[in-house]
Chains A and B, each alone.
Chain A
Amino acid sequence: MSDYGDVTRAPRDPSHDEAATQGVGLAPSLVAGVEAVGVPVGDAEPQAAPGARRRKIGIMAWLAIIWLVTMLLLAILAPVLPIPDPTETFPEIARQGPSSGHILGGDALGRDLLSRIIWGGRASFAVGFGAVALGMFIGGFLGLVTGFFRGRVDTILTPLMSLLLAIPQFVLALSLVTVLASAEDVSSARRIGVVIVGLGVVSIPILGRITRANTLAWSEREFVTAARAMGAKSFRIMFRDVLPNVVPAMLSIALLGVGVAIIAEGGLSVFGVGVQLPTPSWGNIIAEARGQLRQAPHIVLFTSIVLFLTVLSLNFLGDVVSQRFEVREGQL
């Protein structure tokens, strides 16, 4: 980061008058100014100029993206990958650590851990993205409507959202899932659906609040009045003018939310109401193996590492999104 300092400070150096005046306005001219001064002699990279900085998101963000994409691809391609079925048991590898045939070893019942983690990613991602998508659609819509129209809609809906926020989130999710999944015949796919709804409902007020706060701020902008003064209809202004400005904030919270939801599913699994075994999810693999921490620590360890890196990557991307959003707003 220090190299930014060198480059941005350089054109302001009074001894380089020409370059300084050139560099004040637009990014391209600043780049030109820097080149004219000849500051980036050795260490400073030329793309560190503000214009390029906006496009540069840093090596950590790239690692996060690579990790997430790999995990998603593995999860999606699980059925065609050359791995054993996640429910197939190999008695000889039960509780055994990594071996040549099973690189992550086996779980308590002798199922291949690599396969279970890959298949578990399907359930975990489905729950994480599903819950947040639900929260983003419903919460986002409510936040947009209450923030944009205010008035009566706001006085009715916003307290309701605050009410939901007041209930401890995990308790709310737990009771929702328990109530919704009370039927005996719950299939594993339906169970995932129930978990998605449970965690989704919890995320509605969170995303709703963020969206409402941002909508309130953006609706005050003059271009919203300008759009009205040009005869645009309310819903059109709301979706075309306000929403695109609010999306970055929603997105950065949503990315954090995906990580939280994936972990929350693990919490539900501990209470036995998460994704139901034998269908694996990262949460229930850890929950199931927590009794064997002494005998077979590798099960919890490997799964937790995968879970940890995934949540970390999601948080990282959330930060990147919000930072880029700030840069853009700062320019206006």
Chain B
Amino acid sequence: MSGTGTALQDTPHAPGTGALLEVEDLRTSFASPRGEVGAVNGVSLSIQRGRTLGIVGESGSGKSVLSRSIMGLLPPTATRTGRIGFEGMDLSEWTDSRYRDLWGTEMAMIFQDPMTALNPVMRIGRQITESLRFHLDMDRSTAQETAVELLRSVRIPEPEKRFRSYPHEMSGGMRQRVVIAVALACGPKLLFADEPTTALDVTVQAQVLDLLAEQQRDRFMAMILVTHDLGVVAGRAHEIAVMYAGRVVERAPTAELFANMKMPYTEALLAAIPKLADPPHTRLAAIGGLPPDLVDPPPGCPFAPRCPYARERCHRERPELVAVDGNPEHQYACHYPVDSPETIEIKDRMIAQQMIEDPSAPVSPPVIGGSDGR
């Protein structure tokens, strides 16, 4: 288990630049009547300024808890262990009062639901100027000008007028822009975007994501983009970490991940995205079963109970994160990755089975692989 930490730590960075954030073997658990719920189970990651790390996983995979753990925004029932290095400081033992100096100015977070992330009885201008005046000691008029500029930079039309609006006078997309403006106000170095577009219309999603990417470039921030949608991070993250049951199960630079995915879970996530090329009324691909019980996780690979390629070894022995031969940046935790002979054999058998059952159906593997396996 501890091997996961060391394996990832060895990830080389671009020469000359140290990581802004380095997390090692982070574990977060919640006390519950049934016992400890391990929401994050030994995650290690690092990110440099100016880079975007996408964290992908389904509901309950621990991705939101992971970002809140790093940021120190956990409820009192949570226990957190592991090392969190941020700009050379070790935050792992920090209390709220020490963290408060980082919140807003060093790290900030964009929340999932813009409907609830803004105070309904405060004008949006005030919600931005509050932190400007508090953290950056600006006077009223400077803060106001800065806030209007921020609103303009997140593409709010008529920012001077909108400055005086209440949240309920704006649409969801507008509100999410305001949430972004609030988070960016004090120039954080690290930005967490926790499913920033989940609550938005698909048409607005792209705009908000592009805005985030643009701000991240302009401000040279590090951004951790948490989402359940591989499509969201596909073009926007430099690197992607796929999480399952509180662990990173595959991690690679974006292009490498899509070209050469190893983990059946990653493959299944990708298959779950509906494709425009699919004929109408195609059944949506879903991953059968449920994520494992985090109070009492299975001894082997946590994905094994749902994995179509799982073998006996998968149920018995937990795979560690290992690097792909010749590419230390790409790591995965799987005994039989999608391009292993064992898995290909099962895939072929499944296709054959399908053809026997319904010879007229177009030939498609039950789980569509990235580049191979057909």
Contact = CB atoms under 8 A, between A and B. Distances in A.
Interface of A: 151, 221-223, 225-233, 240-241, 244-245, 328-329, 331-332
Interface residues of B, number: 33
B120 A229 contact: no
Interface in B168-199: 168, 179, 182-183, 185-186
Contact of B100 (A151, A226, A233, A241): A233
B73 A229 contact: yes
Contact of B117 (A151, A222, A232, A233): A222
Nearest to B106: A231
A231 B117 contact: no
Given A222-B112, A226-B179, 17 more contacts: A223-B117, A223-B118, A223-B120, A225-B73, A225-B111, A226-B109, A226-B182, A229-B71, A229-B108, A231-B104, A231-B105, A231-B131, A232-B130, A240-B130, A245-B119, A331-B168, A332-B167
Given A229-B71, A231-B105, A222 B121 contact: no
8 contacts: A223-B117, A223-B118, A226-B118, A229-B71, A229-B104, A231-B102, A332-B115, A332-B167
Contacts of B116: 221-223, 332
Contacts of B115: 332
Interface string B92-135: 00000000111111001101110111111110000000110011
A222 B103 CA distance: 16
B113 A244 contact: no
| CB-CB nearest 6 A-B residue pairs | A231-B103, A231-B104, A230-B104, A222-B116, A244-B121, A230-B131
B76 interface: yes
A231 B111 contact: no
A244 B104 contact: no
Given A229-B104, A232-B130, A241 B117 contact: no
Per DSSP, chain B at the interface is: loop
Contact of B131 (A151, A223, A232): A232
Contact of B119 (A227, A329, A331): A227
A226 B117 contact: yes
B134 to A, nearest CB: 7
Contacts of A245: 119-121
Nearest to B168: A331
Contacts of B104: 229-231
Contacts of A231: 100-105, 131, 134-135, 186
A216 to B, nearest CB: 14
Nearest to B111: A222
Contacts of B120: 223, 245, 328-329, 332
A331 B120 CA distance: 10
Contacts of B182: 226, 230
B119 A241 contact: yes
A289 B116 CA distance: 56
Contacts of A222: 111-113, 116-117
Nearest to A150: B76
Contact of B134 (A223, A225, A232, A332): A232
Contacts of B186: 230-231
Contacts of A229: 71, 73, 103-104, 108-109, 183
Contacts of B185: 230
A24 B183 CA distance: 31
Contacts of A230: 103-104, 108, 130-131, 182-183, 185-186
